[in-house]
Structure 1
């Protein structure tokens, strides 16, 4: 997976009345480079009140890693906890996006992340994945680094002014 393009950068877009958001062009370009074929995997973050997005190839790579670890545990006479697989794979949603990056946020994860109504949504690249935040929840989260918050709030203010976030 060394030829993959990293997900990097930050921008704000909006959620419309149909629950659609647009993946920013720089993240969409990375998805396309990583072979997404207009599909993005959306999952709840295990570490923050946001969603994470990534391409199907990343999901397959994680499946291979999980399978190797499970095989090693079985070879060592240990049991494999099915809950780990449930959390890693069953809670993922696949969404298709159009040429402008618009996709429908999966309803349950969107509700869990506070993204179930119209308004701004922050996209932030994290290398292998990207986050999708409700800016209000991001601002209220004490675990988020102040520099990240500062940049996110700047992007939000630019979006509210009608500029690119």
Structure 2
């Protein structure tokens, strides 16, 4: 099944119909989506800024231990609610020129976060003075990718 056919099927499914016709489903899921966005972006912005050198008096391992679970929870909420929101309008969203770039930013953001954990998690304790350049570049990329994904997602409604 090609993506366009799958989107039409999903939109016509009971889930898609429920999301479109329920008086409470779409607004409630949309609010949860915003909560996920706040958790993910808030935690990632603070974590990435700390990695870039802001707030060096705060120990990096403690900052990471506090913010990483919040970011992960936000991402899980976003993925679940995003799938439900997509089901309501799958075909038009798939045709929207901003949708694929948004999905690409999310995918790259997740890959970057996983790579970051794999490469650097055991070395955070030594970063209270200056993190390695490559790690700072990853933090900068993370900032750009997550903010871009959020902005593209918001702009989807206007295209």
Say yes or no: TM over 0.5.
Answer: no
TM value normalised by structure 1 = 0.32
Q: Which structure features the higher share of strand residues?
A: 1
Asked which structure has the greater CA Rg, the reply is 2
TM value normalised by structure 2 = 0.32
